Structure 1
Amino acid sequence: MNEQKIIIVGGGNVGLSFALLLAKQGIKSTLLEKSTYPTINPDDDTDRTHYLDTRNMALSRRTVQIYQQIGLWDELQSHACRIDTVKISEQDNFGKATLNKHEENVESFGHVIENSWLGRKLLLAVQANPLIELFDGTSVTDITQSAKNVTIFFTKQGEKEQSLTADLLVACDGQNSICRQLLGVKADFHDYEQMGIVSTVMTDQPHNHEAIERFSPTGLMAVLPLTDSTDKDGTHYRRSVVWVCKKGEEQQYLDNDEFFLQTLQKTFGERAGKFVKVGKRGAYPLVKVLAQQQVAGRCVIMGNSAHTLHPVAGQGFNLCMRDADTLAKMITQQVMRGENVGENAMLKTYEKRRKADQKRVILFCDTVVYGFTHRNPLVKVARNVGLIAFDKVPFVKPMVATFAMGLKS
Structure 2
Amino acid sequence: MPQVVIVGGGMVGLSLSLMLAKANIRVKLLEAIKYPDILDAELQEYHSSFDARNSALSRRSVQIYSKLGLWESLQQHATPIRQVHITEEGGFGKARLLAEQENVENFGQVIENAWLGRVLLTQVKKNNQIELIDGIQVTALTQDNAKVTIEALRDNEKIKVVSDLVIAADGRDSFCRQALGIDADVHDYEQVAIVTTVQTSKPHEHVGFERFSALGPLALLPLPGEKRRSVVWPVKKGTEQQWLGTENDQKFLDALQHTYGGRAGKFEKTGKRFCYPLSQVLSHKQASGRVVLMGNAAHTIHPVAGQGFNLCLRDAEVLVRFLSNQLKTSSDIGSPHLLKQYEQARLVDQKRVIKFCDGVVRGFSNQNPLLKLVRNTGLVAFDIVPGIKPMVANYAMGLKA
Amino acid at match of 1:302: M
Counterpart in the other structure of 2:71: 73
- Deviation at residue 186 of structure 1 after TM alignment: 0.7
Counterpart in the other structure of 1:100: 98
- For 1:46 and 1:212, locate their aligned partners in 2 and report how far apart those are by CA, in whole Å: 31
Counterpart in the other structure of 1:305: 297
- Deviation at residue 49 of structure 1 after TM alignment: 8.4
Amino acid at match of 1:237: K
Calculate the aligned-residue CA RMSD, in Å. 1.3
- For 1:4 and 1:199, locate their aligned partners in 2 and report how far apart those are by CA, in whole Å: 39
Counterpart in the other structure of 1:158: 156
Q: Does 1:339 align with 2:337?
A: no
- For 2:188 and 2:348, locate their aligned partners in 1 and report how far apart those are by CA, in whole Å: 24
- For 1:267 and 1:297, locate their aligned partners in 2 and report how far apart those are by CA, in whole Å: 49
- Deviation at residue 219 of structure 1 after TM alignment: 1.6
Task: Note the alpha carbon deviations across 1:2-50, whole angstroms, 9 max, x for none.
Answer: x861100000000000000011111110000010001113223343589
Contact 2:327 2:333 in 1 (8 A): yes
Aligned residues with identical type, % of pairs: 55
Q: Does 1:130 align with 2:96?
A: no
Q: Does 1:219 align with 2:211?
A: no
Counterpart in the other structure of 1:10: 8
Counterpart in the other structure of 1:187: 184
Q: Does 1:403 align with 2:401?
A: no
Counterpart in the other structure of 2:384: 392
- Deviation at residue 274 of structure 1 after TM alignment: 1.2
Aligned with residue 59 of structure 1, among 57, 60, 69: 57
Counterpart in the other structure of 1:200: 197
Amino acid at match of 2:241: Q
Aligned with residue 280 of structure 1, among 258, 272, 276: 272
Contact 2:48 2:77 in 1 (8 A): no
- For 2:46 and 2:67, locate their aligned partners in 1 and report how far apart those are by CA, in whole Å: 26
- For 2:232 and 2:142, locate their aligned partners in 1 and report how far apart those are by CA, in whole Å: 41
- Deviation at residue 109 of structure 1 after TM alignment: 0.3
Q: Structure 1's 196 and 271: CA in aligned 2 closer, same or farther, altered over 3 A?
A: same
- For 1:55 and 1:368, locate their aligned partners in 2 and report how far apart those are by CA, in whole Å: 23
- For 1:403 and 1:181, locate their aligned partners in 2 and report how far apart those are by CA, in whole Å: 32
- Provide the secondary structure at the position in 2 that maps to 1:195: strand
Counterpart in the other structure of 1:245: 235
Aligned with residue 271 of structure 1, among 254, 258, 263: 263
Counterpart in the other structure of 1:47: 46
Counterpart in the other structure of 2:19: 21
- For 2:203 and 2:75, locate their aligned partners in 1 and report how far apart those are by CA, in whole Å: 19
Amino acid at match of 1:140: V
- For 2:2 and 2:18, locate their aligned partners in 1 and report how far apart those are by CA, in whole Å: 17
- For 1:219 and 1:353, locate their aligned partners in 2 and report how far apart those are by CA, in whole Å: 34
Q: Structure 1's 341 and 4: CA in aligned 2 closer, same or farther, altered over 3 A?
A: farther
Contact 1:4 1:340 in 2 (8 A): no
Counterpart in the other structure of 1:111: 109
Counterpart in the other structure of 1:328: 320
- For 1:366 and 1:305, locate their aligned partners in 2 and report how far apart those are by CA, in whole Å: 18
- Deviation at residue 149 of structure 1 after TM alignment: 0.6
Counterpart in the other structure of 1:231: none
Task: Note the alpha carbon deviations across 1:274-313, whole angstroms, 9 max, x for none.
Answer: 1111111100000111000000100000100000000011
Amino acid at match of 1:136: D
- For 1:362 and 1:206, locate their aligned partners in 2 and report how far apart those are by CA, in whole Å: 33
Contact 1:54 1:282 in 2 (8 A): no
Q: Structure 1's 191 and 54: CA in aligned 2 closer, same or farther, altered over 3 A?
A: farther
Contact 1:54 1:281 in 2 (8 A): no
- Provide the secondary structure at the position in 1 that maps to 2:395: helix
Q: Structure 1's 259 and 46: CA in aligned 2 closer, same or farther, altered over 3 A?
A: farther
- For 1:49 and 1:407, locate their aligned partners in 2 and report how far apart those are by CA, in whole Å: 30
Counterpart in the other structure of 1:84: 82
Counterpart in the other structure of 2:343: 351
- For 1:273 and 1:158, locate their aligned partners in 2 and report how far apart those are by CA, in whole Å: 55
Gaps of 5+ in 1: 229-235
Counterpart in the other structure of 2:165: 168
Contact 2:28 2:130 in 1 (8 A): yes
Task: Note the alpha carbon deviations across 1:378-398, whole angstroms, 9 max, x for none.
Answer: 111000000000000000000
Deviating runs (4+, > 3 A) in structure 1? 45-50
- Provide the secondary structure at the position in 1 that maps to 2:40: coil
- Deviation at residue 54 of structure 1 after TM alignment: 4.4
Counterpart in the other structure of 2:375: 383
Taking structure 1 as the reference length, the TM-score comes to 0.95
Amino acid at match of 1:239: R
Gaps of 5+ in 2: none
Aligned with residue 287 of structure 2, among 292, 295, 314: 295
- For 1:333 and 1:107, locate their aligned partners in 2 and report how far apart those are by CA, in whole Å: 33
- For 1:189 and 1:98, locate their aligned partners in 2 and report how far apart those are by CA, in whole Å: 33
Task: Note the alpha carbon deviations across 1:125-164, whole angstroms, 9 max, x for none.
Answer: 10010100000001110011111110111001222x2111
Task: Note the alpha carbon deviations across 1:304-339, whole angstroms, 9 max, x for none.
Answer: 000000001100000000000000111111111100
- For 2:172 and 2:263, locate their aligned partners in 1 and report how far apart those are by CA, in whole Å: 35
